[in-house]
Amino acid sequence: MRNSLLSKKLKLTKTRLLIIDDNQLRYNQIIEIFTSKNHQVQATLLDDLKSFEKQLNTGWDIVIFGRAYDLKFEQVISLIQASSQPQLPVLLLTPENYHLSEYTSYIHKGIYDLIDLKNPENVYISLIRTLSYSRLQQNEQRLADELDHIHLHVQSQVQESNKAVAIIQEGIHIQANPEYLELFKINNEQDLIGLPILDILQPTDLNTFKQKFKRVSQHIFDQSKFDIVSKNTSIDVKNPLKIEFLPSDQEDAIQLVIDCDVSTVAPTFSETGLKAVELERRSSLNNVYHSVSRQLSKQPAEANALVVISLSHCPDEVFKQHLSTIKDYFLNIHDFIKEQVNSSVYKLNAAVYICLFQAESEQVLQSQLMSLKSLEKPQLLGVGKLTFSLNLRLGYLTLPEPSLKDEKTFESLMEQAFSQSLPTIIQNISQQDLGELSKTQPEVKLDKINLDTSSIPKAQQSILQVLQQKLDVGDIHLKYQQLYDKQDTNLYIYEVTSGFIYDNTWQNVHHLPDLRENAELSIKVDRWILVEACKQLHNFLIQYPNAKLIINLNRHVLLNDQQLPDLISKLLTIVGSRNKSPLILQFSEESISLNLNVAQQQIARLKQLDAEISVRDFGLSMYSESILSQIDLNYISLNEKLCKMLSSDRELSQLQEKVEHFHTVKPVEILVKDLNDMTMFANAWNIEARYLQGDYFQKKLDQLTDVQDQ
């Protein structure tokens, strides 16, 4: 049997090839392979980052990577995954000294396939398979977009024209809007559901109607719009009725639309307004219902839950602003939720959003739901140059069935979800363990460094008073940001930063000068952060058993808290990770340099417990090299000023020399941060730093989330 992939259908349109190589001859050879088989080709050859960055904004079918001046294939894959075409397949020209045993490692790194130009016929087969996959992905996306557009267009038409609408399945009514019920004088929808369409429409020309209805039932809509004369005595509008059958999102169902004036008496202004509000509500509910239903059928899962996110209250300051600011505030709520929630978000109205969470098991689903609890803390919402508080309320309901029966059932499920709080039970942690975790503020013995805080001005102490209040009620925020591992082995490492909202601005706990002078409060805050981060990690391990946290801490918990090792020992036991070292404690370089001997002793005790150690803001001071040589570190995070050198091609080589020098002092894993655009992220591949971090890969989020699932 002939392979259908080798037919003419893939030759009818141009194949868009983006070839990354520094060899014009290989480029010509690839083009020749296509043209010799009568394919149309539109190809571009490049070998540098800037050109690739520009071309990535254009649509392509296949990317072929050979060799480039300042690009590695790992960079290409990571940049594509963060682009508007994340499924774009990448083919790799077999590297020098390539061995067949390496094939799977390349596939795991994201390569679609490897091709060897010494075997043109095999290359052609691989190209065709890749092209077929790429076109399939594009068609699927295009069809999904078209379906959404058609659905919105149909619903808009129905709403604007005030039409009577019913959903028919196998000739039976399963749903109807208020106009349809009013047209046939039916009291409520339940009285209609289950009745045959013929019993309601009662057409006088029965045979003609049956013939046309048979065609639309088979989803052939060439004769879907026609007039009928109805014998139903309940209707009080003039015959004939103008009816039309349209596709429906529901499986094996069609939409019946009747264009008529359902009211014989002109409505009052108030009636018109109320009816418009109800129509808008029903239309919005219908859109969300169909979107969720489509996701359930398109991506079935073992466990599903509806999450309702609503605005609990709106700050008065918002309504004192210009009308455009008020509008943008509500528009930005959707963007905020979509950024923070690892799920599809559907807008019911300006203050209520519906999310569908799906998982492979009930246990994983519960883990996902518990991680959302942090969104109920007061948040900040940016509107232009202004910031306002944002207070959200979350509720959920586990769906009893993997599908939705009808819109009315969906509305009932939504109401139940709204009134049920998110789960808070931490799985597999005993009450005794929870009791141990709650003991986070023991007596602090400042036997190493005694600091006098009496001289701090009252105005400066105010922010610490706010911090103390936030700590008392557990209102400190933990932010999580995933790291990119160039070696693709430690995929689930997250850095934890902490802060709180004060006067509508974000205050980073690790950037507060005042806190440096208050050892007792600093230690209390850090111990609270450690415990809360470990609770989140324990919960997240249900989804990703190999996850690790880099937890940023201040200096006093390292230099003054002699009970820190005991706390870490308990936390490591309770976290219960399959990793030997799931916790990476990160201190600033300055903190360690203040008292190198004490830091060295404390770090040695922590290392004996299998905690790992990292130093942030590293590499600029006169102490950098001595810290690296004298202390047993696992990671260093480069100073912000060093990281900024990645934005300049001129400074890139200087940074590489500095990084190479660190490696000669001691082999240690190096992290570069603040990679918030494509250029910096890509340039970071040209220095010997293993871990990359920044908004380009993943923004700081209120919950632990794998970037591949976003």
pLDDT digit string, tens, across residues 375-434: 999 999 999 989 999 999 999 999 998 888 888 899 999 999 999 999 985 555 655 665
What is residue 426's predicted lDDT score, i.e. its pLDDT?
59
Contact in structure between 17 and 32 (CB atoms under 8 Å): no
pLDDT at 279 over 80: no
Q: What is the mean pLDDT of residues 286-312?
A: 89
pLDDT tops 60 at residue 267: no
CATH code for the structural domain at 431-440+464-709: 3.20.20.450
423-437 residue pLDDT tens: 985 555 655 665 555
Counting beta carbons within 10 angstroms of the beta carbon of residue 613, is it exposed (0 to 12), middle (13 to 18) or buried (19 or more)?
A: buried
DSSP for 439-465? ---------S-----TTS-HHHHHHHH
The confidence band for 64, taking pLDDT boundaries of 50, 70 and 90, is very high
Residue type present at position 280: E
Q: Pick the closest to residue 591 from 625, 627, 637, 548 (CA basis).
A: 627
Mean pLDDT of 489-500: 95
- The confidence score (pLDDT) of residue 159 equals 55
pLDDT bucket at 704, cuts 50 / 70 / 90: very high
Residues 217, 254: contact at Cβ < 8 Å?
yes
Sheet holding 41-46, edge to edge: 41-46, 15-20, 62-65, 90-93, 113-115
Structure tokens at 691: 């871990």
Least confident of 57-61, 367-371, 446-450: 446-450
Q: What is the pLDDT of residues 550-572, one digit of tens each?
A: 999 999 999 999 999 999 999 99
Alpha carbon distance 243, 545 (integer Å): 57
Q: What is the band of 145 on the pLDDT scale with cuts at 50, 70, 90? A: confident
- Please name the helix (run of DSSP H) or strand (run of DSSP E) that holds residue 35, with its range, or none: helix 24-35
Map residue 664 onto helix, strand or coil. helix
Q: Is the peptide bond before 240 cis (omega within 30 degrees of 0)?
A: yes
Residue range(s) of every CATH 3.20.20.450 domain in the chain: 431-440+464-709
- What's the pLDDT at 162? 65
CATH topology of domain 301-419: Alpha-Beta Plaits (3.30.70)
Kindly state the percentage of the chain with pLDDT values over 90: 64
| pLDDT-derived band at 84, boundaries 50, 70, 90 | confident
> What CATH number matches the domain at 4-142, 3.40.50.1820, 3.90.226.10, 3.40.50.2300, 3.40.50.720?
3.40.50.2300
Per-residue confidence band for 222, with pLDDT thresholds at 50, 70 and 90? confident
d(C-alpha 383, C-alpha 379), whole Å: 13
Mean pLDDT of 509-519: 90
Residue 259: predicted pLDDT:
80
Q: How many CB atoms lie within 10 A of CB 320?
A: 9
CATH of 163-261, one of 3.20.20.110, 3.30.450.20, 3.40.50.2300, 3.30.720.210: 3.30.450.20
* pLDDT > 70? residue 500: yes
The CA–CA distances, whole Å, from 592 to 143, 228, 357, 559, 629 equal 57, 86, 43, 8, 13
CB of 375 closer than 8 Å to CB of 338: no
Determine the Cα–Cα distance for residues 123 and 552; give it in Å rounded to an integer: 50
- When the pLDDT of each residue in the chain is averaged and rounded to a whole number, the result is 87
Interval 92-101: pLDDT, tens: 999 988 999 9
Of the listed ranges 453-457, 628-632, 638-642, the least confidently predicted one is 453-457
Contact 165, 255 (CB under 8 A): yes
Ramachandran bin of 185, using left for φ above 0, alpha for ψ from -120 to 50, beta for the remaining angles: left
Using DSSP's 3-state secondary structure scheme, residue 551 falls into strand
Region of poorest pLDDT, from 36-50, 151-165, 384-398, 463-477: 151-165
Query: Would strands 386-398 and 303-313 be described as parallel, antiparallel, or unpaired?
Result: antiparallel
554 vs 565: CA distance, rounded Å: 15
- Residues paired with residue 346 on neighbouring β-strands, in sequence order: 354
- For the cut 60, the answer to whether the pLDDT of residue 613 exceeds it is yes
Cα gap 210→198, rounded to integer Å: 9
Give start-end residues of each CATH 3.30.450.20 domain in the chain: 163-261
